[in-house]
Structure 1
Amino acid sequence: MTDTAAVSGRSRNLVLAAMIFAVAMTFIDQTIVSIAVPQIQDELNLSNTGVQWAVNAYLLSLAALFAFGGRLADTVGHRKVVVAGVVLFAAASAMCGLTPKGSAAQTWIVVFRVLQGAGGAIMFPAALGIVVQTFALRERGKALALFFGIAGGLTAVGPILGGYLTEWTWRAIFWVNIPVAVIALVLIAVSKPVTEHRPARMDYRGLALIAGGVTLSVFGFQQSQIWGWHNPGIGLCIAAGVLLLTAFAFVELRTASPLIQMRIFRDRAFLAENLILGISMLVFVPVFFFFSEYAQIALGKSAQEAGLYLLYFFLGFVVASQIGGRMLDQGGAKRPVFLGCVLAAVGFYLLAGKVTGLSLSDQIWYVVLAGAGMGMMLTPASTDAVNRASRLSYGEATGITQTVRNYAASLGLAILGTISVSEFRSRLKSSLLDRGVPAGQASAQATDISQSHSQSGGSGGIPAYVRLDFAYSTRTVFYVMAGIMAAAAIVAHFGLRRGVQTELVEPEPAPEDDPAGKPAERG
């Protein structure tokens, strides 16, 4: 049976549209919350730690549960899981918007952000699995370029829309997901996507290990800028997380029906592409946060104007994503992935050299170039990795790639945040000393200002030297991002081979070989 046969003559474009709307919410929420961070913190009186968790809890939940979502889709049915994920995501979004003021606010919003992430984690692999099974191999690059490109375009709308909605109330940035969810559910009901899945046991032991490992390791890096690296709790959290993830890998190799088939990493291209995705995602999601903070603090822009700054990045991303998808279909993944990594590295490097000039007009083309590089490489790398799986394991393969991507994004936000705060604090202390502030007082003030402005922006009342010092700390972050993308380019050059991938034909196991004793099903 071919992949296209699975749609039984239904409109593939309608199926694609349904899945785009389903995942659009997850893309929008990666950026829209960063725009409203200052308003959320002020109205709910959140601590710096609390507001950072309001941003990162979502990414952390995604990273911890993506593998579970992919496996669930392959064993329960992709359409069922997409619908469940959309409903959970929309309900959690509504509750985030209803966060009460007072002592319960911080716990409330973090808990429902975690549930948002859980909804996205089970929805996304299933949605991508449906798209992959709906389109033949030679058409997937173009289809998934549209999938990621349009979703990325909707992500670009997120910061702009968030800026306008925040002028009314920050709560609306969560409520906007509800109409998107309704459209997705209607399109799913109309298109009725049909895919294949195979019932199997769920590996809850593996789920506990990977969720614990991801959570502890990211928590350690994130808390380092608050507790300080001298605190033994930081090292213990990171070490415990790494140990749990290592245990997860060994347990999965010895589990009959594992959460992740570790043997898939024997495929050189799949391993290389996941390394590339992991390295590049240290940059891709955190860049939204840093763009927003830089625009509001260093440039003194409003939330709306900060959204427009991000739009330049996505203009490059969306256009280049289409080019990368077509290059994948025509000549394989190596050329667009390598070229995209190089363009992104050059873009961030050139951008870093301009941010201290505090002139948006001098930065626009470098922002576009960085976005174009990310768009050109992300779609081909993700698509080619998923294509390495059989049609009964697309959800699992997607779960693996998305686990890698979101775990790296969480780590990137934590690590780059630590670099930003440390550099900002150091420059602030020097600026205060130059202004005659005593050393002890300068150190204390620098710590207070860096913690405050690293989490919230706004132009009102920010001294010129603070804006410039923040720009210098952003410059350091962008130079690090350039180095990270250069490393991804090296992995792409040596890890990927030229040529178009051939269709994977995998014989279906006999029912008695199936862990659950059941053959593949359609639905």
Structure 2
Amino acid sequence: MKAPHPRSDTAAPAAGEAPRQTTALAAMLFAVAMTFIDQTIVAIAAPDIVDELHLSASGMQWVVNSYLLALAAFFALGGRLADLLGARRVVVVGTVVFVISSVLCGCVPEGSLAQTWLIVFRATQGLGAALLFPAALAVVVAVFPVERRGRALALFFGLSGALTAVGPLLGGWLTAWTWRAIFWVNVPVALIALALTALAHLSDRRRAEPLDVKGAALIAVGMGLSVLGFQQAWSWGWGSAATWGCVAGGLALLCVFVRYERGVRHPLIDMRVFDDRAFRADAAVLFFSMLAFVPLFFFASVYAQVSLSASPNQAALFLLYFFAGFAIASQWGGRILDDKGARPALKLGTVLGAVGFALWAGELTDLSMHDQWPYAALAGAGIGLVLAPASTDAVNRSLGASYGEVTGITQTVRNYAASVGLAVYGTILTHVTADRVTSTLRSRGLSEEEAREVARGVAQSVTGSGDTRVTQSGGRAAEVMRETMPAVRTDFAEANQWVFYGMAVALGLGFLCALRHPGGRVTSDAGRSDRSPV
């Protein structure tokens, strides 16, 4: 058996270092703020980008997906590099890569080069974020002692998670000036992050271990292929050989990666961490929670705009109900972790989340934004209770306090779950919307064939799963569509109910995984826990 990794290179602080801890936490929050905002900000500016640069609909989809693909492919590498090179160094490198890529995205030239330019530099943005986020999380973990880590990371996840909701609001405001500003806004944020990182005086030392290049390539290609299959399932279809070729091929490579890592002296990921029952439970709860958390941004926003006739900015405000519960509960979850361990927070959070999403689903067809806020807040509270405790407890159990490596694992799990959730829920939404709209149009006198053709266009238009536009239909079909739009909005709300009930089911599965957590608190940075009852 391999010896555990040596202690993390950034030592835990002694008493009296609270100012350094605060500065370090602020620096890491500014650094990751860019990565969270950029996950949602581009979607708001997409119509302006397409119009000015004359991009195809599929090209714009790749502009969005290239960022998420790079995130999925390189999270594990970013976490491992944080251990080998030092978390502070990797934060700085990731921030610089991210902000330079942002500037270049904003400087995209018009013409035939525009689409390729944007896709390439969105991908390098994703690479910078994949380097940056695990390293930033590792810095916070290393700077705060284990007995205060839950509260610190609750603040980290609470604020950084809430920034995802800021993306659409900020995007709408900046796009009114120029869509290029959505990328340029990262420059002052990055400069503040780098300045605070320097002021925090974080120490790093290189770890004398080689990088597992073959393992990094296997997981990057495996994650990239499988996530690509999930991303393209909407446009390629679940019956497409390309979809299943990517998904199955990626999963096969990930299986090869796991087998390979168990035989390497210095692996990219030390698989022994999965021998810890609590770590496995934490990872499973994170996976099922992220099936709901990240996809919610898309589906709730589209629901608000289609069924509630909200503007993009109003749709972003709709999400603030969710984040009100999320932000409050995340702080509570951190305190529970520090006092009693992760298990109580995971159990309570998954139950609240499942109930919140189920009740929220039941209210969607009432088409009232303000009547839904208690259920949105309850769902947010459930996710908030889970996110920080599960992530922190998993990191606390890392072998030899190898924080960067384990943060890379947890972020990979989260990103992969988000991709699966978007693909599965998107397929459900498209099919149910098409069926509901077909029934509505047939009741207004259209033939089965004509109704299905128009309904398919409606479903693809409102879910973003294809290039067909509702306005392409003409004659009697167009007239019927104008007459039945109120009914179609209700049809779309009913289709979204299936999605939200699916999110409730995901949280229910997360609860079953939480029951498998052995309980107890981690009382040292060696990854060992006491097993006292909670």
In structure 2, the partner of 1:514 is none
Letter in 1 for 2:389: P
Letter in 1 for 2:348: L
The answer on 1:411 being equivalent to 2:407 is no
- When residues 51 and 272 of structure 1 are mapped into structure 2, their CA distance, relative to the original with a 3 A threshold, is same
3-state SS in 1 of match to 2:426: helix
1:311-366 per-residue CA deviation (whole Å, 9 max, x = no partner) reads 11111111110000001000000011111111111111111111111110111111
C-alpha distance in 1 between matches for 2:87 and 2:171 = 31
Q: 1:344 aligns with which of 345, 348, 353?
A: 353
- When residues 472 and 383 of structure 1 are mapped into structure 2, their CA distance, relative to the original with a 3 A threshold, is same
The answer on 1:467 being equivalent to 2:489 is yes
In structure 1, the partner of 2:520 is 499
3-state SS in 1 of match to 2:306: helix
156-165 vs 260-269, greater mean Cα deviation: 156-165
- When residues 28 and 394 of structure 1 are mapped into structure 2, their CA distance, relative to the original with a 3 A threshold, is same
Q: 1:54 aligns with which of 63, 87, 90?
A: 63
C-alpha distance in 1 between matches for 2:341 and 2:459 = 45
The answer on 1:304 being equivalent to 2:313 is yes
C-alpha distance in 1 between matches for 2:486 and 2:176 = 25
C-alpha distance in 1 between matches for 2:16 and 2:423 = 42
285-294 vs 221-230, greater mean Cα deviation: 221-230
Deviation at 1:45, TM superposition (A): 4.4
1:55-103 per-residue CA deviation (whole Å, 9 max, x = no partner) reads 3332221121111001111001111110010111112222223344454
Deviation at 1:108, TM superposition (A): 2.9
Deviation at 1:174, TM superposition (A): 2.1
- Unpaired stretches in structure 1, ≥5 consecutive residues: 508-523
Deviation at 1:429, TM superposition (A): 1.9
CA contact (8 A) 1:198 1:392 kept: no
Deviation at 1:382, TM superposition (A): 0.2
- When residues 357 and 46 of structure 1 are mapped into structure 2, their CA distance, relative to the original with a 3 A threshold, is farther
In structure 2, the partner of 1:512 is none
In structure 2, the partner of 1:240 is 249
CA contact (8 A) 2:396 2:527 kept: no
The answer on 1:276 being equivalent to 2:285 is yes
The answer on 1:364 being equivalent to 2:373 is yes
CA contact (8 A) 1:274 1:401 kept: yes
C-alpha distance in 2 between matches for 1:345 and 1:167 = 38
In structure 1, the partner of 2:326 is 317
- The 5-angstrom pairing of residues 38-437 of structure 1 reads 38-195=47-204, 197-390=206-399, 392-437=401-446
In structure 1, the partner of 2:531 is none
C-alpha distance in 2 between matches for 1:385 and 1:229 = 34
Letter in 2 for 1:489: F
C-alpha distance in 1 between matches for 2:201 and 2:172 = 35
Deviation at 1:48, TM superposition (A): 4.1
In structure 2, the partner of 1:480 is 502
Deviation at 1:44, TM superposition (A): 4.2
C-alpha distance in 2 between matches for 1:448 and 1:7 = 63
Letter in 1 for 2:497: R
C-alpha distance in 1 between matches for 2:457 and 2:113 = 25
Aligned length: 506
- The 5-angstrom pairing of residues 12-23 of structure 1 reads 12-23=21-32
Letter in 2 for 1:57: S
1:431-453 per-residue CA deviation (whole Å, 9 max, x = no partner) reads 22222222222222222222222
Letter in 1 for 2:441: L
3-state SS in 1 of match to 2:220: helix
C-alpha distance in 1 between matches for 2:219 and 2:351 = 32
Deviation at 1:242, TM superposition (A): 1.1
Higher relative contact order (CA 8 A, sep 6+): 1
- When residues 387 and 485 of structure 1 are mapped into structure 2, their CA distance, relative to the original with a 3 A threshold, is same
- Unpaired stretches in structure 2, ≥5 consecutive residues: 1-6, 472-480, 529-534
CA contact (8 A) 2:69 2:224 kept: yes
TM-score, scaled to structure 1: 0.91
**Structure 1 segments (4+ residues) deviating >6 Å:** 6-10, 456-462
1:176-231 per-residue CA deviation (whole Å, 9 max, x = no partner) reads 22211111011111112124552321111111111111122222223222222332
- When residues 90 and 168 of structure 1 are mapped into structure 2, their CA distance, relative to the original with a 3 A threshold, is same
CA RMSD, 1 decimal: 2.5
1:420-474 per-residue CA deviation (whole Å, 9 max, x = no partner) reads 1121222222222222222222222222222222129999998323322222221
1:393-416 per-residue CA deviation (whole Å, 9 max, x = no partner) reads 100010011111111112211221
C-alpha distance in 2 between matches for 1:392 and 1:329 = 18
C-alpha distance in 2 between matches for 1:483 and 1:258 = 35
- When residues 318 and 429 of structure 1 are mapped into structure 2, their CA distance, relative to the original with a 3 A threshold, is same
C-alpha distance in 1 between matches for 2:527 and 2:240 = 51
- When residues 299 and 8 of structure 1 are mapped into structure 2, their CA distance, relative to the original with a 3 A threshold, is closer
Deviation at 1:506, TM superposition (A): 7.9
C-alpha distance in 2 between matches for 1:459 and 1:372 = 37
CA contact (8 A) 1:317 1:373 kept: yes
Deviation at 1:245, TM superposition (A): 0.6
CA contact (8 A) 2:77 2:131 kept: yes
CA contact (8 A) 1:273 1:381 kept: yes
CA contact (8 A) 1:160 1:304 kept: yes
C-alpha distance in 2 between matches for 1:38 and 1:453 = 14
C-alpha distance in 2 between matches for 1:327 and 1:459 = 50
CA contact (8 A) 2:347 2:514 kept: yes
1:130-164 per-residue CA deviation (whole Å, 9 max, x = no partner) reads 11111110000011111112223333332322222
- When residues 418 and 330 of structure 1 are mapped into structure 2, their CA distance, relative to the original with a 3 A threshold, is same
1:12-63 per-residue CA deviation (whole Å, 9 max, x = no partner) reads 1111111111111112122323333444445444444333333333222112
- When residues 365 and 459 of structure 1 are mapped into structure 2, their CA distance, relative to the original with a 3 A threshold, is farther
Letter in 1 for 2:490: L
Identity percentage over the alignment?
53
Letter in 2 for 1:484: A
Letter in 2 for 1:488: G
3-state SS in 1 of match to 2:202: coil
C-alpha distance in 1 between matches for 2:424 and 2:318 = 23
3-state SS in 1 of match to 2:508: helix
